[in-house]
């Protein structure tokens, strides 16, 4: 098995990512927790924001990749 097919990334604040279980939405990284997990959010519409905390980096993918 080649290691380059399983690249684990470190994300930066403001970076656009997709979550594995919700591939149709683009989230923004808003915080990195001390345990290495991330807080992400996306604007659903003018009044609603969807936020998740404690998301492991393995569950996230850079949208530019």
β-bridge partners, 28: 16, 41
Which residues on adjacent β-strands are paired with residue 31? 39
* 10 touches 57 (CB < 8 A): yes
Give the pLDDT score at 6: 54
- What's the confidence (pLDDT) of residue 65? 64
Residue 31: which domain range?
Answer: 3-62
The model's pTM: 0.81
Spell out the per-residue pLDDT of the chain, length 65, in tens: 444 455 557 899 999 999 988 889 999 999 999 999 999 999 999 999 999 999 999 999 999 86
At residue 22, the pLDDT reads: 86
Number of domains in the chain: 1
Q: Provide the pLDDT for residue 8.
A: 59
Look at residue 1 in the predicted model and tell me its pLDDT: 45
């Amino acid at each position: 098995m080649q290691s380059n097919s399983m690249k684990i990334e470190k994300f930066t604040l403001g970076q656009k990512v997709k979550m594995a279980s919700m591939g149709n939405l683009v989230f923004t990284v808003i915080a990195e927790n001390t345990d290495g997990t991330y807080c992400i959010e996306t604007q659903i519409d003018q009044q609603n924001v969807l936020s998740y905390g404690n998301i492991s980096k393995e569950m996230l993918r850079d949208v530019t990749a």
